[in-house]
């Protein structure tokens, strides 16, 4: 039910997706179909080729006739991509935020992409349905520390915990030694509360925050950029 509300909110809008394309948005069976109702989409991806996607051109064609531009930018901090400032009504990002060492820095920079009162849709994995199951949920205070300490994306301070507590796929551990390049680690483990607190700190008003009842791996957040009148 909640997802239908999200769909209605985003329907007909111009979007930019960070770290896609996303199967979740293109396949009905995940209960999070989205690409079919949006008006347009561009993409941001850090790599031309990365361990998760096969992207080798400058077009972004995630679904059907949707065809946008793919920008190869490090989304952990896109402060310098000023040509994209205030160009979009929606920022989409699924299964990306947990790979970012300094989430507040990232989301704060994503805000620059948004028009006034634009929307932010973030999906992160719920640990009880993935290999992070034995790790503790990250507290918002830690996320804030990472911001205040200017933690950078080469940070490996969570690696010991991941090695001890996570069922992180072994084939990724070699890549994790140079995580700045590979970005495979889940630095943080989000529940809905930490996700919401993080986005609200960055200036978003929460519209929906829920676990997808038909696909419980997905913790979903939809917020709207606060304006001067919010
Ligand atoms: Zn951290």
Residue 50, classified by CB atoms within 10 Å of its CB into exposed (0-12), middle (13-18) or buried (19+), is middle
Q: What is the pLDDT of residue 200?
A: 98
Q: Structure pTM?
A: 0.91
Which CATH number is correct for 2-225, 3.40.50.150, 3.20.20.70, 3.40.640.10, 3.40.390.10? 3.40.50.150
Work out the angle at residue 126's Cα, subtended by the Cα atoms of residues 103 and 202, and round it to the nearest 5 degrees: 25
pLDDT for 23-55, tens place per residue? 999 988 899 999 999 999 999 988 665 444 444
Its sign, for the CA torsion 109, 77, 193, 151, is: negative
CA dist 17 and 90 (Å) reads 8
Please answer whether residues 25 and 33 qualify as being in contact, where contact means their C-beta atoms are separated by less than 8 angstroms: yes
- 38 Cβ partners below 8 Å, 6+ apart? 10, 11, 12, 13, 14, 15, 66, 90
Q: What is the pLDDT of residue 149?
A: 97
Q: What is the pLDDT of residue 56?
A: 45
191 CA to centre of ligand 1 in angstroms? 15
As beta bridge partners, residue 54 has 49
- 143 Cβ partners below 8 Å, 6+ apart? 103, 104, 188, 194, 197, 198
94 CA to centre of ligand 1 in angstroms? 19
Q: What is the pLDDT of residue 194?
A: 98
29 CA to centre of ligand 1 in angstroms? 33
Q: What is the pLDDT of residue 53?
A: 47
33 CA to centre of ligand 1 in angstroms? 31
Q: What is the pLDDT of residue 66?
A: 93
User: In this structure, what token pair is assigned to residue 194?
Assistant: 């930490």
169 CA to centre of ligand 1 in angstroms? 20
- Consecutive 10-residue averages of pLDDT for the chain (230 residues): 94 96 92 96 78 59 92 83 90 97 96 96 94 94 98 92 85 83 90 98 97 92 81
Q: For strands 68-71 and 88-94, give the pairing.
A: unpaired
27 CA to centre of ligand 1 in angstroms? 32
152 CA to centre of ligand 1 in angstroms? 10
Q: What is the pLDDT of residue 54?
A: 44
User: In this structure, what token pair is assigned to residue 129?
Assistant: 């349905």
């Amino acid at each position: 039910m909640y997802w239908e509300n999200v769909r209605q909110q985003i329907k007909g809008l111009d979007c930019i997706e960070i770290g896609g394309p996303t199967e979740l948005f293109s396949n009905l069976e995940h209960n999070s179909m989205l690409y079919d109702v949006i008006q347009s989409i561009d993409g941001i991806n850090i790599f031309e080729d990365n361990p998760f996607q096969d992207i080798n051109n400058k077009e972004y064609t995630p679904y059907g006739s949707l065809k946008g531009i793919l920008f190869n930018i490090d989304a952990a901090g896109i402060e310098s991509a000023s040509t994209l400032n205030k160009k979009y009504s929606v920022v989409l990002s699924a299964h990306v935020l947990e790979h970012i060492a300094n989430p507040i820095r990232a989301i704060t920079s994503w805000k620059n992409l948004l028009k006034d009162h634009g929307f932010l849709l973030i999906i992160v994995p719920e640990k009880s349905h993935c290999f992070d199951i034995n790790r503790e949920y990250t507290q918002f205070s830690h996320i804030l520390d990472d911001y205040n300490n200017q933690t950078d994306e080469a940070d490996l301070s969570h690696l010991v915990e991941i090695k001890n507590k996570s069922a992180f796929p072994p084939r990724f551990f070699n890549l994790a030694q140079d995580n700045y390049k590979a970005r495979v680690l889940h630095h943080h483990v989000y529940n809905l509360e930490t996700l919401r607190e993080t986005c609200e700190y960055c200036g978003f008003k929460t519209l929906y925050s829920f676990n997808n009842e038909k696909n419980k791996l997905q913790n979903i957040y939809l917020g709207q950029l606060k304006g001067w009148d919010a």
